[in-house]
Structures are given as C-alpha cells and as structure tokens.
Chain A
C-alpha cells in the first residue's frame, strides 16, 4: 500500500493537482508517525502508511484550504465532509487520498476503541483510493447499538454520581486547549473562551471554568462531531472526552435521526431547521 500511496502522491504533485500533500511520516523512534508536509516529488518517499497513522490530518485543513492533498482514513474523511458542509473548504480544492484502514493502535500497541466499531474501513469520499492488497477479514463491524455502551454505562448511574464523575474529570483539566486545537471542527477565529465582553467562560483553570469550557465545547460540537477521537487522545490528563461527545451524538441521533460526516449536502441539524423537527418541549 505504501508504494501505491507514494506513487499516487507523486502523480498528484507532478500533474500540479496539488501544491502540498499532508500525510504521515515515520517519527524518530522508527515506530510511530508524525504529520508531514511535502511539496516536491522527491519528498514522497517520506510518506508511510500503517496502523500507527492515528492523526486526523484534516485538522490542518483549518489553516490550509487550497491546493492541498491529504492522506485520509475513513474517520478522517468524515471530518472533511463536515468541513465541506460548513463551508470551511471547497471540495474541489482538496484532493483526498483515501486509504483503506484496518484499524489503528495507540502508543502501547492497543487497538483504538473507536476502531472496534468502525464502519468506514473504506472512506466515504475520495479522489484517489489506496486499497489494501489483502482483503479485509470478514469482521462484521459491531452493531451500532453497542457503539454507545460506554455512554450507556454512565447513563445508568444516578445524577449525583454522574456529576461527581465529571467533576473529578474536569478538575484535572489544565486548559491547554489541545482538544480544541486538534479538533477539525473547532475553527472559530475567536474562541468563546477568548471573549471578554462579555466573558462567558473564566479563563483560569478553576473547576467552574473547566466545567463550563468542556461542556460548552461538547455542545458546540453537537450534531457536528464525527468521533475521530483525537480530542481524547491528545488530552494530557486523560479526560474521557469521547464519552461526552458520543452522548450528544446519541441525543442528536434520537432527535433528528442524523449522523454527521456522511453526506456533504446535509446541514448539521442544529444549524438548520425543518418543519417536521421534534417539538415536544414546546407546550
């Protein structure tokens, strides 16, 4: 697959379809990867592809919006779709080099939780597809009902228990904003935390400010988050952010029967309305 990837990348650069390709390169320790940016054909040999390519490179599309090629797994492509939905990038300015992914592993070699319920081994959209020579083993992706098992575990707890759980988690937050910076969909040029008139969220890492920050971010992602899981991966204090985001994903699914990241012509439900939207809360 790597050879194919490099070949295609070379072609894209040679034919001037793109000026820059964002992909994965081997990191110093020879096992993991790190994002790489290549501009010339002789650099394509830096590109690699394996189960250590965990980054969602589409977050760089927040800054680089034109003439760019991007190596993207199925989950990454979902956030590219989301960016297109929200008019952050033009479909024809990005060449998606889709890669067939059989699952990624974390630094300890353990399979990522999100990969266990993945339904997009082959990306939904792409300009070029790099397929694996060995066909995917017939591992049926788990029922989507099971995808929410972690959320349901929390939902089963009482409200005070749940509150305590989250307070314990948010106490750890140091407001490094890595979750925001790595998220492809957190692209506000002035984040709500930076506003001082009025000041919605206290900038210092008090429990109150941390709670507001994390909850507000989750709400701002409701109906948009495609669960790439990067926020949870980068959090230095291991706050289980995916649980928060998935809970909102579940609510949105129940209310609007909508799953983000698949159809670029859709609008996220909280940015749009339909006459048949649920209205039980209106009395």
Chain B
C-alpha cells in the first residue's frame, strides 16, 4: 500500500533567480516512470521536502501541458524556504503530491479570462497562463494584470514579455507607487486600482486572482462593485498554513472544509457561503 507521507525523490535541474528573494526551481522525479505519469491541474500544490530540514507546501508554477519537469517558485521566508534557496543543481529533494483541487478548467473553457496577480501570487496563475496558451483554441481572450512592490520584485520577467506578445493576450504590468525605476514603462499604482482602470468587461469572463490577502480583498471589492462581476465569476486561491496536505493534521480548515482537500481554489461565491467562518 502506498505510504501517503513518503515523498518521491526529485532532482533540481535548474534554478532561476527571479528577484532578490524569489527563485524558481525546475525539478524532475528520479523515477522516470513517475515523471512521465505525473499529472496535475493548474492551481494544485505539492509538499516540498528538504530532507533534514522540513517540508512546506508550494503551488506548481508549471503547466501539465508541458510535461517532463515540474516547477515551483519559492520566496525565502523561513527555515525550509531558506534551505531551499541554498540548494544547488543536482541536489535531491522530496516531492509529495499533487494536492488540492486546482482551477476548474472545465468551467473556464470557452470563456474569456482576466488574471490578476500580485507579487509571488503570479506563480499559480503562471500554471494557468501556460495551460491556456498551450490550448489557445479552447479559451477566449486573456487579460493579465500583474503588479509587485517594485520593478525588481516582478517575477518571470522574461516570460512576461513572451506573454505580452502572444495573440489574444493583453498584459498590463504595474508597480506600487515609489517602486518604479527610471526605465519603467508600465503602470504605476496598486493592482486593484489598475484593474479598475483596465476594466475588462465581465461578459462571459472569469476573473482569477492570487496575491497578498489585502490585494485580494480590494480586487474582490472592485470586481463585484464598479466592475459588475458576479461572485460566481471570481476565482481565487487561498493560502493557509498546511502540513500534511491530506486533510488529516487538522490545521487548514475553514469551517468544515479543509483547504488542502476542498481548496485552495475557491470561487468568491463559495467563500461567501462559508459565512463568517471565512
């Protein structure tokens, strides 16, 4: 019987520094059969182990449409992330997963999208963006609004260009007031403000957002307020302290649901239904 707590061995293939405290790690499973069969949905997460240091959950920043490796984008914050940042290429780590419910791709097919990301919140959205770009015909147009504290805090800087140049994609980048450098050509302003300015129409559109809680709060306010989105049209991915990823250790619950099993992706309507427990 499978041991649900046992991580699978994976090797670090490439490390891409994104910002002073964020790196993207490209990993492949040691077991080639597993690598081939490993499948997941954008929005799902894995439990990443640095043996001897600990384990922490990170969403998959890569898309299942590009098999052969998985990617996680990780910000250096505590004990485990510090150890992850000290990893080198060819180091061995452990991966358990995928866990969580992922984005509801079936419901997104045939619709237009607006993706609103803040800081490292772009990571799970990247999985979705790559997935959509790889299956262009199944989705409508895509608006991406992404912002960070300053120009050097923007992640995936190379890919941002690539996405900007893709047909059917409108990209708006912004940095917080005071975060722009001399070369900055994009917007200056908080993400929710820029979202309202761009104002993509809610017609047949789904809004997906991920970022710091305060940004999400204002994005939800703007979207359901001036912009006219219905709560069912808005999707977000929640962040909670998680340990087991399996709904057993008891800490990631909101009401009767566990974020690691029934989430982390929820529609705003679902969050409202949770009532004050949210």
Instruction: Digitize A189-225: 1 where CB-to-B-CB distance is under 8 Å, 0 elsewhere.
Output: 0000000110100000000000000000000000000
Q: How far is the CA of A196 from the CA of B79 in the complex (A)?
A: 6
A-B contact pairs, 6 of them (CB 8 A): A196-B78, A196-B79, A197-B78, A197-B79, A197-B82, A199-B79
> Which A residues contact B (CB, under 8 angstroms)?
196-197, 199
B70-91 interface with A by 8 A CB criterion: 78-79, 82
Q: How far is the CA of A199 from the CA of B80 in the complex (A)?
A: 11
Q: How far is the CA of A196 from the CA of B82 in the complex (A)?
A: 11
Residues of A near B79 (CB, < 8 A) are: 196-197, 199
> Which B residues contact A (CB, under 8 angstroms)?
78-79, 82
Residues of B near A196 (CB, < 8 A) are: 78-79
Residues of A near B78 (CB, < 8 A) are: 196-197
Residue of B nearest to A196 (CB): B79
Residues of B near A199 (CB, < 8 A) are: 79
Q: How far is the CA of A238 from the CA of B58 in the complex (A)?
A: 42
Residue of A nearest to B77 (CB): A197
Q: How far is the CA of A199 from the CA of B79 in the complex (A)?
A: 9
Q: How far is the CA of A197 from the CA of B82 in the complex (A)?
A: 9
**Taking the nearest CB of chain B, how far is it from the CB of A203, in angstroms?**
11
**Taking the nearest CB of chain B, how far is it from the CB of A197, in angstroms?**
5
Residue of A nearest to B80 (CB): A196
**Taking the nearest CB of chain B, how far is it from the CB of A184, in angstroms?**
29
Residue of A nearest to B79 (CB): A196
**Taking the nearest CB of chain A, how far is it from the CB of B183, in angstroms?**
35
**Taking the nearest CB of chain A, how far is it from the CB of B21, in angstroms?**
14
**Taking the nearest CB of chain B, how far is it from the CB of A185, in angstroms?**
28
Residues of B near A197 (CB, < 8 A) are: 78-79, 82
Q: How far is the CA of A199 from the CA of B82 in the complex (A)?
A: 13
Q: How far is the CA of A197 from the CA of B77 in the complex (A)?
A: 10
Residues of A near B82 (CB, < 8 A) are: 197
Residue of B nearest to A195 (CB): B79
Residue of B nearest to A198 (CB): B79
Q: How far is the CA of A122 from the CA of B24 in the complex (A)?
A: 66
**Taking the nearest CB of chain A, how far is it from the CB of B57, in angstroms?**
15
**Taking the nearest CB of chain A, how far is it from the CB of B239, in angstroms?**
18
**Taking the nearest CB of chain A, how far is it from the CB of B205, in angstroms?**
42
Q: How far is the CA of A199 from the CA of B78 in the complex (A)?
A: 11
**Taking the nearest CB of chain A, how far is it from the CB of B40, in angstroms?**
28
**Taking the nearest CB of chain A, how far is it from the CB of B48, in angstroms?**
16
Residue of A nearest to B81 (CB): A197
**Taking the nearest CB of chain B, how far is it from the CB of A83, in angstroms?**
31
**Taking the nearest CB of chain B, how far is it from the CB of A103, in angstroms?**
43
**Taking the nearest CB of chain A, how far is it from the CB of B159, in angstroms?**
31
**Taking the nearest CB of chain B, how far is it from the CB of A234, in angstroms?**
24
Q: How far is the CA of A197 from the CA of B79 in the complex (A)?
A: 5
**Taking the nearest CB of chain B, how far is it from the CB of A206, in angstroms?**
16
Residue of A nearest to B54 (CB): A196
**Taking the nearest CB of chain B, how far is it from the CB of A176, in angstroms?**
17
**Taking the nearest CB of chain A, how far is it from the CB of B251, in angstroms?**
14
Residue of B nearest to A197 (CB): B79
Q: How far is the CA of A196 from the CA of B77 in the complex (A)?
A: 11
Q: How far is the CA of A197 from the CA of B78 in the complex (A)?
A: 7
